[in-house]
Amino acid sequence: MTVRAWAELLRVSALFTVPGDALAGAAAVGRRPNRSTALAVGASLCLYEAGMALNDWADRDEDAVDRPHRPIPSGRITPRAALTAAGALTAAGLVLAARAGRPALTVATGLAATVWAYDLRLKHTPAGPASMAAARGLDLLLGATATATAAHSARATGTAAATSARAAVPAALPAAALLTAHTYAVTAVSRHEAQGGSTTVPLAALGAVAALGGIAVRERQRAGRGAAGGSPDGGGSGGTESARVRTAATTPTRLLLTALTGAYLRTAGRPLVHAALNPSPPLTQRAVGSGIRAMIPLQAALAARAGASGTALAVMGLVPLARSLARKVSPT
């Protein structure tokens, strides 16, 4: 019972939507995942779970009315335990980010501050969806920054590595913007999941998902240029970078990108249609859960359009795990 309660509190089925942020960030700067990418994934997982625990602690009075079955109002987890877990997970996330380098720690600190500000202050304000969306964008930038820093640290001074990390941010911004926009749309829908009754918001989110899919499948990001120094494999060869850019335009990569974008549109779009036609709480909650899971094919599509087909397929491997666990523990 205790394990089940913590699994519900931490929304463990949604955890599989997190690693793809850092992996898409690495692809956006033209680098293969490395040790610092793994540290960024660990930091992201900790900070995400901190946000889940803090969310239920902050909403415990509201949940006692709308969701009495949740772990805190049902008495299975005490408020103090949830708050302690949020603090401990935040600290662990920052420690992992620090091991990936100072630039990564800077981004992770901003991410942690955004998570706490959302849960404690901004969630029920007009700034709520924007702050949640910013957290996802920062998560992708965390992976990009950590990966780029590690790629240069072995052969460059600390100053040069920090400069490379700063250059990684603008290179990863287009991918971060797409993930941010998707998160904004899903969060806007989630504000009605307890009571339902909104047709306009699911329709607007459906339009946003369609637009994002169109952008993801149509535009190719030129990975690595000016951010990580050229080669996606960690070298400085402009020729290797050119080969990577050409690879992004090959037929197999285009087919993969099209398939991944289609998976994203199916996962997020169909439940939004149902929620728009019948904005009841169950269908709205299903649309939110599907929107969360749709982040995985979106992350994979972002990696594929950056030319990282292997990374894209690895991210998509998380889909069956997320779907299987979601049948046992709700992601919302």
The three-state (H, E, C) secondary structure of 77-117, written as one string: CCHHHHHHHHHHHHHHHHHHHHHCCHHHHHHHHHHHHHHHH
Q: Which of 15, 40, 56, 181 is nearest to 97 (CA)?
A: 40
pTM, two decimals, is: 0.88
Q: Digits of tens for pLDDT over the chain (332 positions)?
A: 689 999 999 999 899 999 999 999 999 999 999 999 999 999 999 999 999 999 999 999 999 998 899 999 999 999 999 999 999 999 999 999 999 999 999 999 999 999 999 999 999 999 999 999 999 999 999 999 999 988 665 554 556 556 666 777 889 999 999 999 999 999 999 988 877 778 999 999 999 999 999 999 975 544 444 444 444 444 343 444 444 444 445 788 899 999 999 999 999 999 999 999 999 999 999 999 999 999 999 999 999 999 999 999 999 999 999 888 888 888 87
Residue 52: exposure state from Cβ atoms within 10 A (0-12, 13-18, ≥19): buried
Domains of the chain: 2-326 (1.10.357.140)
Q: Are 149 and 162 in contact (CB under 8 A)?
A: yes
For 296-318, b/e burial (b = at least 16 CB within 10 A) is bbbbbbbbbbbbbbebbebbbeb
